[in-house]
Structure 1
Amino acid sequence: GVVEGFRADFASRRYRHEEIVGGEVGTRFGNDTDEVNLMVRHKPAGRLTGTVGGWALNRQFSAVGEEALSPPVRERGAAAFFYEELTWPHVTFQFGARVNHASFDPEDELPSRSFTDTSGSLGLLFRPRAAEDRFTLAVSLARAARNPALEELYFFGPHPGNFAFEIGNAKLGSEKALGFDVSARWRSRRISGEISFFRNAIADYIFRNPLTEEEFDARFGHAGDEEDEEEEGHGGEFGFIEFVAADSVLQGIEGHADIEIGRGLGMEVGIDYVRGELSAANQPLPRIPPFRLRAGLNYQRNAFQAGGEVVAVSRQKRVFGAETPTAGYGNLRLFGAYSFGTANVVNTVTARLDNATNELYRNHLSLVKDVVPEMGRNFKLLYSVRF
């Protein structure tokens, strides 16, 4: 046969969530999802190796209560894809494609929507003969698409979990991106690493755009009098945001390196930086992460591991409109783990201490950064079993 191997995954999730307002349950959310994924690896055909596959999704979303964000919506999705490689001693050519279909069917007068999108990519890996497989230059070009999410299409109402009155847009289309990236990878006896540059031009990029109360009233009617606002938890309490789309550009750099110091001790360092702008207005996109530097040490001896990582994040002052800038911060994480075997299973006990210095900071990507800082010192003790 032509099949060398396959992998099939099935997941069924039943999620319930209650949002408490004034000590009482304001809204109950339900999110039931069934998902299946199949990947089949075919036997090599000369220099050609690869995988074909499919994916399917069935989701039922509901929100019941005074602050229901949308009517019940059924979402279905299906996709087919392939990924192939042609390999020579010093060059590898990669190519792949995916066709994705998604449909959304709300139960009230809101319109049903369906999307069929195609994505594809081409890549080239070059390993110079003189480098003796210690250096690789990788270049790729991709055309990708993403259909709007259920929340971006149909939400309309106060969302206490995000401290916002969220306004979807059932007329949104799919995002379509043309992306390019180039990376250099190297490895030696003690050091390996990679540094990459990427640029994505995205048509109809979907993002959260804030509205003033006056803009909301002009377009959707008055938000309510003061008594209604206190009872329903919007207007004066929450800001208004709508999901909109505009052509945008995202570009940045990423890098990391692993260093073997010796006797079980290793070091890892990394950087990442992203710059996002609206193409027409030359204005920063909202919630773009600031420059980040990571450095960590890891020690392993037999079944014992211990280590720590410092994350330094710069301030973010390139903000969208009235978005709040965030200050820079540092974060220290520590961990230790020990594994032992019993019968035919592996037992692992892990202790983690996040934000060890109890730093007060706000994550620029957080939807609630204006109201709530990130978690303080946090200790976790975990036990896992593998069999």
Structure 2
Amino acid sequence: AVRVQWGGRWDATSIVPLDSTETALVRDVRTRRFSAPTGSLGATVALRPGFVLGMSATRAFRPPAIEELFSAGPHLATYAYEVGNPQLRAERGYGLDLFARFQQRRVNGEVAVFSTRLADYIYQRPLVDSITGAPVRDRRLRRYNVYQADQSDARLYGAEGRVVITVPRVTGTVLDATVSWVQGDQRAGLAWAPLPAMPPLRSRVQLRRDGRAWSVSAGLDAALRQRRVPPAPATIGAVTCLLSASEAVRGAGAPSLLPAEFCPTEGWVQGQASVSRRWLMGRQLHEITTAVDNLFNTDWRDHLWRAKQVAPQPGRNLRLLYRWSW
């Protein structure tokens, strides 16, 4: 009725820059070495058939990535100018997960909650002018917000769940629903402040039917609006969070944009559907799938995307897939 799992390892990483040239923004370029032990301990208890409780405790370690240490230039795809920090230390953290799994004849699922404390959590900090409080722009075009890798102590906690229900009297049909939520804070003096780039609560509901020859599915994806963002700096002049569609097309107004991390994001709902047809020819399996994402052509923005200020995410997307297995 009781199972225990444990594991451990030693991580060691060396990052050796082939070019140690320093720039006005990145100094002290040098070889960095990181190492630390990591491990986990977990246990599950079967309280009765089909119902399991479990927990897991972990010690984590992550060295900074090369980009976080030595970047010094524009990243056009994310509408940002990124600056590394060669002084970064490795992240170290402790986490605890608690979960429950259940499986019955027609219903099964899992619910989990977690909490993690991190020392020297690495994140991208939008730079602001120390005098005016305005966002710092790249020196050449004065168009992109400047981000520098920084770190602080942080805590993250959240929950996620999934339930799969077999629809009675309809062979091969299930209702599959998931939901996930996370909240992050960073140490700000003696208090805690919202951590940037934390996703909103998200969920998915999908109805699927799988037969020998045909499979069909339809569902909804949704995200709540995210209002919990770091406080924006006090700025001089007109500064906004989102451009209108016409301004974004013309490229106007970019210098007046706040970094995306300071801006809330509206919620959205999208539809998705797919149809598959399978058949055998000898010992070979053929399958054609037609799928539609963002069925209602919803205008939506990803809270974690820095360029959400100037462009929404893709609209309706139609995919046609042929698969041949032998």
TM value normalised by structure 2: 0.82
Alignment of 1:53-68 (within 5 A): none
2:127 pairs with 1:211:
yes
- The answer for the alignment partner of 1:16 in structure 2 is none
Provide Cα deviations, 1:317-365, integer angstroms capped at 9, x if missing partner.
0002331100011011111122233454433222110000000011112
Closer, same or farther: CA 384–211 of 1 in aligned 2, 3 Å:
same
Alpha-carbon distance between aligned partners in 2 of 1:351 and 1:215, rounded to the nearest angstrom: 56
2:303 pairs with 1:364:
yes
| Unaligned runs of at least 5 residues, structure 2 | 21-28, 233-261
Q: 2:13 aligns with which of 88, 102, 120?
A: 102
Alignment of 1:1-387 (within 5 A): 90-109=1-20, 110-128=29-47, 131=48, 133-212=49-128, 224=139, 229=140, 234=141, 236-261=142-167, 262-280=170-188, 281-322=191-232, 323-387=262-326
Please, what is the CA RMSD of the aligned residues?
Answer: 1.9
2:81–2:138 Cα contact (<8 Å) kept: no
Alpha-carbon distance between aligned partners in 2 of 1:337 and 1:193, rounded to the nearest angstrom: 26
Q: Which has the higher strand share?
A: 1
Provide Cα deviations, 1:232-275, integer angstroms capped at 9, x if missing partner.
xx4x2100111111100000010000000032211011111101
Report percent identity of matched pairs.
Answer: 33
Q: Partner amino acid for 1:381?
A: L
Alpha-carbon distance between aligned partners in 2 of 1:162 and 1:247, rounded to the nearest angstrom: 25
Closer, same or farther: CA 153–343 of 1 in aligned 2, 3 Å:
farther
Alpha-carbon distance between aligned partners in 1 of 2:197 and 2:62, rounded to the nearest angstrom: 19
Give the length in aligned residue pairs: 282
1:346 aligned counterpart, secondary structure: strand
Offset, 1:215: 7.8
Provide Cα deviations, 1:193-237, integer angstroms capped at 9, x if missing partner.
111000000111111110125689xxx9x954xxxx3xxxx4x21
Q: Partner amino acid for 2:158?
A: G
1:268–1:296 Cα contact (<8 Å) kept: yes
1:213–1:240 Cα contact (<8 Å) kept: no
Q: Which structure would you say has the larger RCO, counting Cα contacts within 8 Å and 6 or more residues apart? A: 2
- The answer for the alignment partner of 2:244 in structure 1 is none
2:78–2:305 Cα contact (<8 Å) kept: no
- Which range moves more in the overlay, 133-142 or 271-280? 271-280
TM value normalised by structure 1: 0.69
Provide Cα deviations, 1:10-66, integer angstroms capped at 9, x if missing partner.
xxxxxxxxxxxxxxxxxxxxxxxxxxxxxxxxxxxxxxxxxxxxxxxxxxxxxxxxx
2:263 aligned counterpart, secondary structure: coil
Alpha-carbon distance between aligned partners in 1 of 2:14 and 2:40, rounded to the nearest angstrom: 24
Closer, same or farther: CA 92–350 of 1 in aligned 2, 3 Å:
same
Offset, 1:151: 0.9
Alpha-carbon distance between aligned partners in 2 of 1:214 and 1:223, rounded to the nearest angstrom: 16
Alpha-carbon distance between aligned partners in 1 of 2:84 and 2:287, rounded to the nearest angstrom: 44
1:363 aligned counterpart, secondary structure: coil
Alpha-carbon distance between aligned partners in 2 of 1:213 and 1:239, rounded to the nearest angstrom: 11
| Unaligned runs of at least 5 residues, structure 1 | 1-89
Offset, 1:150: 1.2
1:308–1:332 Cα contact (<8 Å) kept: yes
Alpha-carbon distance between aligned partners in 2 of 1:215 and 1:176, rounded to the nearest angstrom: 34
Offset, 1:279: 3.1
Offset, 1:384: 2.4
1:297 aligned counterpart, secondary structure: strand
Alpha-carbon distance between aligned partners in 2 of 1:179 and 1:199, rounded to the nearest angstrom: 6
Alpha-carbon distance between aligned partners in 1 of 2:138 and 2:172, rounded to the nearest angstrom: 62
Alpha-carbon distance between aligned partners in 2 of 1:92 and 1:345, rounded to the nearest angstrom: 42
